[in-house]
Structure 1
Amino acid sequence: MAPRIEVAAHAGVCYGVERALDLAEKAAGTAPAPVRTLGPLIHNPLVVAELAERGVTLAESLDGADAGSVVIRAHGVVPEVIEDARARGLSVIDATCPYVKRVHAAAERLVSQGFQLIVVGEGGHPEVEGIMGHADGRARVVSRPEDLDGIELERRVGVVVQTTQTLDALDAVVAELLRRADEVHVVNTICSATQERQAAARELAARADVMVVVGGRNSGNTRRLAQICAESGTATHHIESADELRTAWFTDAALIGVTAGASTPAAHIERAVAAIERLSGASDGTR
């Protein structure tokens, strides 16, 4: 009997990424040229290459965008970057995800209320760097409870979280803060799309014989989906493109599960599913 392919109930691009892509693609035909994104628009190398083919190229810094328009990436930036871009005479298209802007607002509010800010997330990640820029220098980044050991905590601590983090990671840090601080104010800024994709991936991985996770290797939320699937005990393969798929992965599999990060367009998922069908002889009844 041929294996079956099932795509997770929630998989692929979220609202913020779709909005950023729409803004960038529209800018290619309407905004002052040249049009450049400030850093990768999203964490998906294939999408970045596709945008370049449409005329939206990449600048790693404002020094590489000396004229025309600059698109602010979905992850957001520190406020000074946008001010600097406008001061240089650049046309600014702000594609920051609205959910990321919600984190910026929460960080500003907590700091203004006198809380020492803890950001639960990946140090050095573009989204986290942007959040830090809205905290008036009063934020520290942690990814796990042990990271708090080197921080001198104040009496009142506020917490926000990178939108693509897991609820387990947030809960673990908050539990340690509650043990060590007098007052802890938590704003759960994990995006609902992230939670939906993680829950759907976990549910499907528990039933599947093998999982394929589609998306950029530089995408934190995609890597976390792969981690969640692997932790279920199911053989898990993280790919960026369908060319990476291997027939041997699907030997003796009755159910092949597919999920994708929030920066993975539907077309990329479709290409992966079609390739899995060819390699495994599977049928897809849930696409």
Structure 2
Amino acid sequence: RILIRAHGEPPSTYSRAEELGITIIDATCPVVTKVQERIRKFFLEGFQIVVFGKKEHAEVIGLVGQTQGQAVVIKSLEETDRVQLNRKTVLFSQTTMDKATFYAIRDALKAKIKDLVVGSIEDEAIDFHAKDTICGQVSGRDKKIREFARSNDVVVFVAGRHSSNGKVLFDIVRSENARTHFIEDIAELEPAWFAGAGTVGITGATSTPQWLMERVRQEIERRYVPATESVQSS
């Protein structure tokens, strides 16, 4: 048996498993599955697929696989110059990317299309779509997590080092509170972080398990923060 994790896999993984007679337990996130289906649909209709995401990320590998490896992957606004708008195009996103950057990329590509004035190329390029496929659970946390960061003296952010969603959310929290610290395990906690802090907030990536957040809270209360002060989780 083989377990497909939440990030999903390209079609080649399923084909290979079938060839080898391996049973698949598919735990792909339903949101990711839907994005894969939409990308495959547009690709088969002849659209160029552009994915806003990280090329090496497991989810993006699965998304690109829906296009037989032909999708263009960009991870920042600066990389929009790599997109050749000489054919009908659809922009998608890895589900854990930053929404503001996605829309900035969309606007930049639209601006490039307006600059094209070359007959039939212009006609084809005008057929451009942007599909916001960022997970609502990720984007919906933005406002609340900013408020949470501002309401605490110190914030401890708990996530895996390689979590794409964790990196995005950590940057948001740190932009609101300079005393934000990223940890993967309680062994990384530092006493100096909590000096003079009246309130400590604990938050993490969408995938960070609640038991780990609770363990961090208990450790902070036990070792660093007096009972008269406050430790809260988000």
TM range (shorter): 0.7 to 0.9
**Structure 1 residue aligned with 2:20:** 88
Q: What RMSD over aligned residues (CA atoms) do the two structures have, in Å?
A: 1.7
Cα distance in structure 2, aligned partners of 1:247 and 1:89: 53
**Which of these residues, 211, 224, 230, is aligned with residue 155 of structure 2?**
211
Q: Does 1:115 align with 2:40?
A: no
**Which of these residues, 98, 101, 104, is aligned with residue 166 of structure 1?**
98
Is the contact made by 2:202 and 2:232 (CA closer than 8 Å) also made in structure 1? no
Percent identity of equivalent pairs: 35
1:188-243 alpha-carbon deviations (Å, 9 max, x no partner): 11111111333322221122221111110111111111111111243111111112
Unmatched runs of 5 consecutive residues or more in structure 2: 114-125
Q: Tell me the secondary structure at the aligned position of residue 170 of structure 2.
A: helix
TM-score, normalised to structure 2, is 0.88
Cα distance in structure 2, aligned partners of 1:233 and 1:286: 15
**Which of these residues, 218, 221, 230, is aligned with residue 283 of structure 1?**
230
Q: Does 1:263 align with 2:210?
A: no
Cα distance in structure 1, aligned partners of 2:79 and 2:231: 44
Q: Tell me the secondary structure at the aligned position of residue 262 of structure 1.
A: coil
Cα distance in structure 2, aligned partners of 1:81 and 1:75: 13
**Which of these residues, 138, 149, 153, is aligned with residue 85 of structure 2?**
153
Cα distance in structure 1, aligned partners of 2:7 and 2:225: 37
Q: How many residues align?
A: 219
Displacement of 1:285 in angstroms is 6.2
TM-score, normalised to structure 1, is 0.72
Corresponding letter in the other structure for 1:92 = I
**Which of these residues, 74, 81, 87, is aligned with residue 142 of structure 1?**
74
Residue correspondence of structure 1 range 121-140 to structure 2 within 5 A: 121-140=53-72
Residue correspondence of structure 1 range 7-156 to structure 2 within 5 A: 69-156=1-88
Is the contact made by 1:78 and 1:131 (CA closer than 8 Å) also made in structure 2? yes
Cα distance in structure 2, aligned partners of 1:128 and 1:286: 31
Cα distance in structure 2, aligned partners of 1:147 and 1:285: 39
Corresponding letter in the other structure for 1:258 = I
**Structure 1 residue aligned with 2:173:** 229
Unmatched runs of 5 consecutive residues or more in structure 1: 1-68
Displacement of 1:154 in angstroms is 2.4
Corresponding letter in the other structure for 1:252 = G
**Structure 2 residue aligned with 1:242:** 186
Is the contact made by 1:144 and 1:172 (CA closer than 8 Å) also made in structure 2? no
Cα distance in structure 2, aligned partners of 1:198 and 1:275: 27
Corresponding letter in the other structure for 1:188 = D
The 1:153–1:271 alpha-carbon spacing in structure 2 relative to 1, beyond 3 Å, is same
1:74-111 alpha-carbon deviations (Å, 9 max, x no partner): 11111111111121121110111111111101111222
Displacement of 1:187 in angstroms is 1.4
Corresponding letter in the other structure for 1:104 = Q
Corresponding letter in the other structure for 1:256 = V
Displacement of 1:286 in angstroms is 6.5
Higher relative contact order, structure no. (Cα contacts within 8 Å, ≥ 6 residues apart): 1
